[in-house]
Structure formats: structure tokens, C-alpha cells
Amino acid sequence: AQSVSQHNHHVILSEAASLELGCNYSYGGTVNLFWYVQYPGQHLQLLLKYFSGDPLVKGIKGFEAEFIKSKFSFNLRKPSVQWSDTAEYFCAVMPTGGGNKLTFGTGTQLKVEL
């Protein structure tokens, strides 16, 4: 069975600071990788995804993530955060060819201060 580990549970940053959220997964086969975001009072939204190809993927709102296969990692980055990025961020994996079953990490609560 697959598992996902997010290293930071709570992160507090000032506006304009750079962000990197760690995500590591454990699975013996190929996976699709996702980052979802949950803004306060809103539903889960897809930030970005990696299926294959260029390991550096860009998502919405200036977010990007890099898939490093040798490290089983898919870290999320943003060069300069804004107050509106305050939200909970979830990394998730889905084995390819196995239907649509997402395994989520425990989430990282990001608070951006003005």
C-alpha cells in the first residue's frame, strides 16, 4: 500500500517569503502525484499534478513542484507567498492504472502574515 508523508504540519511565513513544502511518498510502482489546496471554508482544489514528462510542473497561482523519482519526493514551491495563500495544502498520490484512489498526506497548514 502507498503512503504519503508531509514533513511540515504548520508553517508561518511573512508575505513575500519563499515557500517550500515537503512531500515524500512510499510505493513500489508508478504513481501520479498531486497537490491540492483547501482555502478556509472552501472545497479542495487542485493546485498542480504530475503524470509524466518534465519533472518540474507548474500549477495555478504561481505554484510549482518538482518530482524527484530517486527521492520519492514531490515538493511544492512558491517564490513569494501572499496573504491569500493562507490555506491547508495536501500532497496526494495515485497509483497508475489502479483506478482513482488518492492517498493523501496529513496536510500542511500555511499561515501567511502581513
Q: Where along the sequence are the contacts to other proteins (CB under 8 A)?
A: 32, 34, 36, 42-46, 49, 51, 90, 92, 94-107
CB of 18 to other proteins, least distance (A): 26
CB of 94 to other proteins, least distance (A): 6
Residue 107: helix, strand or coil by DSSP? coil
Q: How far apart are CA 91 and CA 34, in angstroms?
A: 6
Residue 57: helix, strand or coil by DSSP? strand
Q: How far apart are CA 26 and CA 29, in angstroms?
A: 9
Q: Which triple of cell numbers denotes residue 60?
A: 495555478
The smaller minimum CB distance to other proteins, of residues 38 and 86, is found at: 38
The smaller minimum CB distance to other proteins, of residues 12 and 46, is found at: 46
The smaller minimum CB distance to other proteins, of residues 13 and 102, is found at: 102
